[in-house]
Amino acid sequence: MADNSGVPKAGVGLSTAHGAAGAGAEAAERALSAAGAADAALLFAGPGYGDELPLMLDAVATTLGTEAIVGASAHGILANGSECENQPAVGVLALAGLDAKPFLLVDTAGAEQAACREIAARLGRPPGPEDLVVLLPDPGNFNPEVFLPQIAEVFGPARVVGAGAGDPTGGTPVQWCGRTVASGAVAGMLIRGTRPARVGVTQACRPVTDLLTVTRARGHWVLEIDGRPALEVYRELARGRLAEDLRRAAAFVLAALPVAGEDLAPGSYLVRHVIGFEENENAFAIPVELRAGDRLAFAFRDAEAAREDLKAMLDPLAGTGAAAALYFDCCARGEAFFGVPGLESAYLERALGPVPMLGMFGSCEIGPVGATTELLTYTGVLALLEG
């Protein structure tokens, strides 16, 4: 059912039914009822639907009356004050009065430039600053260091947000477009807005050191920091029992990499896991290649700091009268991290009011840091589509 009024409208529907077709139909009916019409939709599904996902897509497309549907499997769903983690749940955001271009790219590894140009060729006109690009990649078949710069080149001033597909049951993450389900792909949608989307990024980590200098490195391995053995520096920060259990320490003591300059202000640095330790060389590894002279700091995952950062991110965005909101959240946040269920959804609902909001817990996030679009971890990325 299309809307020809030209006025942007949106509606969100959530279902926790176990049957894929029934859950899809129920969520789509609720979204359609709230929006009044549907020209396009975003659809996120939690675990538990497996081989029945095509039935879900059929039900959603039939109910909404549009094939312009894009989405991905997720660790959980956030929708208008509710969070459903690690359980069957379906969320649908129906959009009306907005021009939306869905796409699905399969086997992009090694062909990122061609894939991005293929998207651009489908758009009809060059993207502008009022456009929002939503990306939903398979993190196991996605090279952000190649793909994201290509996206930036092709989409220019458009804002880019998204999340990596996930499956907490250990299954294969999947993406979809229309009624087609794929794995190892990148699903997405370009939403042509009437005004630039407003985007906010909130982090779950706080730096606990100033910027330090890598004085010796080999590929992903950091060997020395400020002339001292790198693992010795790391152990001092981990302290106590964490220092004795490095695998456990890696979940809490992370590397913070400035995107530009010497800034460690919120939203100005990337957080990366420590992915390996080599005690014989007194070294540790992160999933970024560093060289002597590069700078890094260390950061701790901290629930209280994350709450404060979420509030600070939401304050300037509150009461904006947006047409719709999208929230891409890290699967390492949520109830297990904050200690209470539904905390982020409650904060979002309080700040945004009746704005229809759909989100997903993903395996990684995509959003702006400074002037560039980056792959993020332990973050929440909020995008507001202006009415």
Query: pLDDT value at position 93?
Result: 98
- Name residues of the chain where pLDDT drops below 50: none
Matching residue, tokens 């379906």? 90
Query: pLDDT value at position 387?
Result: 64
CA 229, chain centre distance (Å): 34
Query: pLDDT value at position 114?
Result: 81
CA 176, chain centre distance (Å): 16
pTM of the model: 0.93
Asked if residues 223 and 283 have their Cβ atoms less than 8 Å apart, the reply is yes
Number of H helices, E strands in the chain: 10, 27
Query: pLDDT value at position 6?
Result: 61
Query: pLDDT value at position 241?
Result: 66
Query: pLDDT value at position 194?
Result: 83
Of 385, 347, 99, 71, the residue nearest 202 (C-alpha):
347
